[in-house]
Amino acid sequence: MKIVVLGVGNIIMGDEGVGVRCIERIDAAGMLPAGVVTIDGGTSTNELLGELEGLDLLVIVDAVATGAPSGTLVRLEGDRIPSAFSNKLSPHQHGINDLLATLTFMGRAPARVVLHGVTPHRIELGLELSPEIEAMVPALIANVVAEVERAS
């Protein structure tokens, strides 16, 4: 079972970096089973291709603007993910969509893609998460860990 948990976002843009902040904490506390790979993807795209080919499960962790109140936890699967990214107010919105489409064209797309996210409260210059989103991080991480455990 090949599983990758990919945190994306820009840590210098406040809540935009929540996906990466989750990865940092998951790694520091060793929360995932051995063999599950975690990646701090930042806002990169093609650099990540090699790590994401032929997976059984890709879990993306990110800030997602769905229109719901800030701090709302979000879980999306499969076909619903690209549309979530195309509505997203983020510099890397184009990147993740392109990355998934590229993997599909190569015939090496993950068997399943699940997005776990939280709607951001404050996206502006700054290295810290807002207190509102900081408070939701443990629950978001718990969702990610549970997703991985269900699959493995």
Partner 1 sequence: MAKRIVIDPITRIEGHLRIDCVVDGGKVTDAWASGTMWRGVEQILLGRDPRDAWAITQRFCGGCTTVHAIASVRAVENALQMGVPKNAQYIRNLMIAAHAIHDEIVHFYHLSALDWVDITSAAKADPKATAALAESLSDWPNNGVAVQTATKERLTSLISSGQLGIFANGYWGHPAMKLPPEVNLLAVTHYLQALDVQRKANKIVSILGSKTPHIQNVAVGGVSNPIALNSQSVLSIERLLAVKEAIDELSAFITQVYTVDVAAIAAFYPEWTQYGKGVTNYLAAPDFPLNEMGTEFVTTGGYIADGDLSTMKPITTFGDRLLHDNIAESVKHAWYKGGKGPLHPYKGETVAEYTDFSDHGKYSFVKSPTFAGKPAQVGPLARVLVAAANKDEAITKHLTRLLGIVEAVGKFKVPLAALHSTIGRHAARAVMCARNVEILADQWDLLMANIASGDSATFEKPVFPTGEVSGFGFHEAPRGMLSHWIVIENGVIKNYQAVVPTTWNAAPRNEDDQLGPYEASLIGTPLADAELPLEVLRTIHSFDPCLACAVHLVDPTRRDIIQVRAL
Token output for 122:
């404050």
Residue 11 CB, shortest distance to partner 1, in Å, is 6
Closest to partner 1 by CB, 41 vs 71, is: 41
- d(Cα 40, Cα 67) in Å, to the nearest integer? 26
Beta strand pairing status for 37-42 and 3-8? parallel
Residues that bind partner 1 (CB under 8 A): 10-13, 16, 40-50, 86-95, 98, 101-102, 104-107, 123-127
CA 102-107-112 angle, 5° bins: 85
Residue 138 CB, shortest distance to partner 1, in Å, is 24
88 contact partners, CB below 8 Å, separation of at least 6? 64, 65
Closest to partner 1 by CB, 79 vs 131, is: 79
Closest to partner 1 by CB, 72 vs 87, is: 87
First vs last Cα of the chain: how many Å apart?
Answer: 7
Residue 9 CB, shortest distance to partner 1, in Å, is 10
Residue 146 CB, shortest distance to partner 1, in Å, is 27
